[in-house]
Amino acid sequence: ATPTIAVLVGSLRTGSHNQALAHALEKLAAGKASFEYVQIGDLPLYNQDFDKDYPAEGLRLKEQIKKADAVLFVTPEYNRSVPGVLKNAIDIGSRPYGHSAFAGKPAAVIGASIGAIGTALAQQHLRNILAYLDMPVLGQPEAFIHFKEGLIDGQGTISNEGTRDFLQGFVDKFLAWIATHGGQH
């Protein structure tokens, strides 16, 4: 069976480059994996009081992640770190203590920015978080996509052949990573 990949996109913006990147990766994985987009924009702000009585949106996110074979993080960089909306989703998915939805799930990290060194620091911070959550995270290739207008359209079509080949390699390495590190439901 082909793996199911839960996809968390760290931007809620209409016309997000990272949303476009996620769709491009989905196309490159067609027939080899199915992408399940995890809604994070309607989550309440995590509050430790939730641990006694978890909110429905939080339970929904946790179920989606638990059912998936792997997790893909596609994120912009905000102020040289992970956008708060994504960190909030990770905090929600990681609790109550001892009941994290993320533990053991193979993961990969990628991001697009309009800035030349964009997302490198956000991705590094994210890797730190995912290590703590006990997720085996793909080390290579690192993928810092410098987004220029027209690189990827809204349907996920990539205009640049070099970028397409690079992203195909990223997808194929991630699928191989899932095959060797998966199976922990």
Q: Which residues contact 165 (CB under 8 A, 6 or more apart)?
A: none
Q: Is 87 in the site for ligand FNR (CB under 6 A)?
A: no
Closest CA to 137 of 94, 181, 84, 172: 181
Cβ distance 43 to 89 under 8 Å?
yes
Of 107 and 151, nearer to ligand FNR (C-beta) is 151
Q: Is 17 in the site for ligand FNR (CB under 6 A)?
A: yes
Minimum Å gap between C-beta 80 and ligand FNR is 4
Minimum Å gap between C-beta 155 and ligand FNR is 16
User: Cα angle at 33 between 17 and 20, to 5 degrees?
Assistant: 10
Q: Is 25 in the site for ligand FNR (CB under 6 A)?
A: no
Cβ distance 51 to 87 under 8 Å?
no
Report how many residues bind ligand FNR under the rule CB under 6 A. Answer: 14
Minimum Å gap between C-beta 115 and ligand FNR is 3
Q: What per-residue string of b and e applies to 8-33 under the rule 16 or more CB within 10 Å gives b?
A: bbbbeeeebbbbbbbbbbbbbbeeeb
Q: How far is CA 113 from CA 21, 77, 116, 148, 164, in A?
A: 11, 7, 7, 9, 17
Q: Which residue is nearest to ligand FNR (CB)?
A: 118
Q: Is 11 in the site for ligand FNR (CB under 6 A)?
A: yes
Minimum Å gap between C-beta 13 and ligand FNR is 4
Other Cβ atoms closer than 10 A to 4: 15
Stretch that binds ligand FNR, among 10-18, 27-35, 102-110, 149-157 (CB under 6 A): 10-18
Q: Is 123 in the site for ligand FNR (CB under 6 A)?
A: no
Minimum Å gap between C-beta 128 and ligand FNR is 16
Stretch that binds ligand FNR, among 54-62, 78-86, 136-144, 161-169 (CB under 6 A): 78-86
Tell me the C-alpha distance between 163 and 165, whole Å.
6
Chain residues in the site for ligand FNR (CB under 6 A): 11, 13, 16-18, 76-80, 113-115, 118
